[in-house]
């Protein structure tokens, strides 16, 4: 029987959005201030200076700190209010099987296929000229920031990029969107698909990239299903990390070969690959759901058979 939440779901959503607003404002002031002090430039020039290749490491660090403020802290605060065990509430559990890990690996490659196909489809959607110009300007600004952070001249730079461009976003974003928003929306709508879809749309929209909207939304659905079936945030973090790490690795290899990384960021795959990816994802998720049910059942049995529960 489901227990009534301490705070109703609409209030949880409003509180989470409010916390995000507070921490974003705080981060948007503190982090440029840190950049200004480190670079010894005026406050208003920090952003342009961070896009310079020689400041790539500082840009990575400050962007990681910004994600920490905007994504991780709001979810942690809300989880602490809702539960005495905030990390457990967010889905941080140690129970995982080798089969789940193998399935997540397979799901990663299938989701990349689907995202590539949807990227091609996204480009075919017509937009009014003014909207297209604005979307293109936002996309160019996003790419400029990413290319500055993706400037990797050595193995050390590559490893640091994996940390700040792959691992940190995977943890911070999954905690907020799957551990935070998805649980709120699934509870609020009382429907798995509605909650996952709303969360995935929000997850994609917050990246402010029109041309990547459909691929990120599809990735959000895959991540949402992994978390919903397994109740384990580590597995969605793993897929998110591998997705990011493959992009970082591709950018590193491309830059070491002396090729322009802009083309790497724009690469898509034929749309028909998406149909194959969907079929494979459906088959993989059937196995993943069954394995996750087995793992969760074993976890419950382990809890109920522990000495403290037997003696209580």
Rounded to an integer, the average pLDDT of 26-40 is 84
Of 131 and 69, the structure prediction assigns the larger pLDDT to 69
What contacts 251, CB < 8 A, 6 or more positions away?
Answer: 150, 152, 161, 261, 264, 265
What contacts 258, CB < 8 A, 6 or more positions away?
Answer: none
Question: Of 106, 241, 100, which Cα lies nearest the Cα of 170?
Answer: 241
Write out the two tokens for 106: 């397979």
Rounded to an integer, the average pLDDT of 193-213 is 92
Quick one: three-class SS letters along the chain?
Answer: CCCCCCCCHHHHHHHHHHHHHHHHHHHHHHHHHHHHHHHCCCHHHHHHHHCCHHHHHHHHHHHHHHHHHHHHHHHHHHHHHHCCCHHHHCCCCCCCCHHHHHHHHHHHHHHHHHHHHHHHHHHHCCCCHHHHHHHHHHHHHHHHHHHHHCCCCCHHHHHHHHHHHHHHHHHHHHHHHHHHHHHHHHHHHCCHHHHHHHHHHHHHHCCCCCCCHHHHHHHHHHHHHHHHHHCCHHHHHHHHHHHHHHHHHHHHHHHHCCCCHHHHHCCCCCCHHHHHHHHHHHHHHHHHHHHHHHHHHHHHHHHHCCHHHHHC
User: What pLDDT, on a 0 to 100 scale, did the predictor assign at position 112?
Assistant: 92
Rounded to an integer, the average pLDDT of 96-111 is 96
Lowest-confidence range among 165-174, 186-195, 215-224, 295-304? 295-304
Report in angstroms the alpha-carbon separations of 151 from 93, 126, 197, 237, 286: 35, 33, 34, 24, 40
Of 24 and 259, the structure prediction assigns the larger pLDDT to 24
pTM for the structure as a whole: 0.89
Q: Where would I find the beta strands (DSSP E) of the chain?
A: none
Of 51 and 39, the structure prediction assigns the larger pLDDT to 39
* Cα 300 from chain centroid (whole Å): 28
Evaluate if residue 11 carries a pLDDT over 50.
Answer: yes
> Across the chain, which distance is largest between two alpha carbons, in Å?
70
CB atoms within 10 A of CB 130: 8
Rounded to an integer, the average pLDDT of 170-199 is 97
Of 150 and 215, the structure prediction assigns the larger pLDDT to 215
Report in angstroms the alpha-carbon separations of 61 from 36, 41, 68, 146, 247: 14, 17, 11, 13, 19
Evaluate if residue 1 carries a pLDDT over 70.
Answer: no
CB atoms within 10 A of CB 291: 19
Rounded to an integer, the average pLDDT of 138-148 is 71
Q: Which DSSP state fits 20?
A: H
């Amino acid at each position: 029987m489901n227990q009534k939440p301490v705070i109703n779901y609409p209030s949880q959503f409003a509180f989470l959005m409010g916390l995000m607003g507070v921490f974003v404002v705080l981060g948007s002031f503190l982090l440029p201030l840190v950049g200004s002090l480190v670079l010894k430039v005026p406050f208003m020039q920090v952003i342009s200076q961070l896009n310079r290749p020689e400041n790539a490491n500082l840009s990575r660090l400050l962007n990681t700190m910004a994600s920490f403020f905007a994504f991780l802290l709001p979810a942690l605060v809300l989880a602490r209010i809702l539960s005495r065990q905030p990390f457990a509430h967010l889905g941080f559990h140690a129970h995982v099987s080798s089969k789940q890990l193998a399935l997540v690996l397979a799901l990663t490659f299938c989701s990349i296929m689907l995202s590539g196909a949807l990227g091609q489809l996204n480009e075919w959607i017509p937009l009014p000229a003014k909207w297209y110009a604005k979307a293109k300007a936002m996309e160019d600004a996003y790419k400029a920031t990413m290319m500055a952070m993706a400037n990797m001249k050595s193995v050390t730079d590559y490893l640091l990029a994996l940390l700040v461009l792959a691992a940190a976003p995977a943890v911070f974003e999954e905690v907020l969107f799957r551990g935070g928003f998805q649980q709120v929306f699934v509870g609020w709508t009382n429907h798995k698909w509605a909650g996952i879809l709303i969360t995935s749309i929000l997850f994609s929209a917050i990246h402010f990239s029109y041309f990547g909207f459909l691929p990120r939304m599809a990735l959000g659905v895959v991540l949402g299903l992994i978390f919903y079936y397994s109740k384990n945030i580590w597995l969605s973090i793993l897929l998110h990390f591998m997705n990011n790490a493959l992009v970082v690795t591709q950018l590193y290899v491309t830059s070491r070969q002396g090729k322009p990384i802009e083309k790497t960021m724009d690469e898509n795959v034929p749309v028909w690959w998406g149909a194959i990816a969907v079929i494979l994802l459906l088959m993989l998720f059937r196995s993943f759901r069954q394995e996750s049910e087995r793992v969760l059942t074993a976890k419950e049995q382990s809890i109920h058979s522990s000495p403290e529960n037997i003696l209580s």
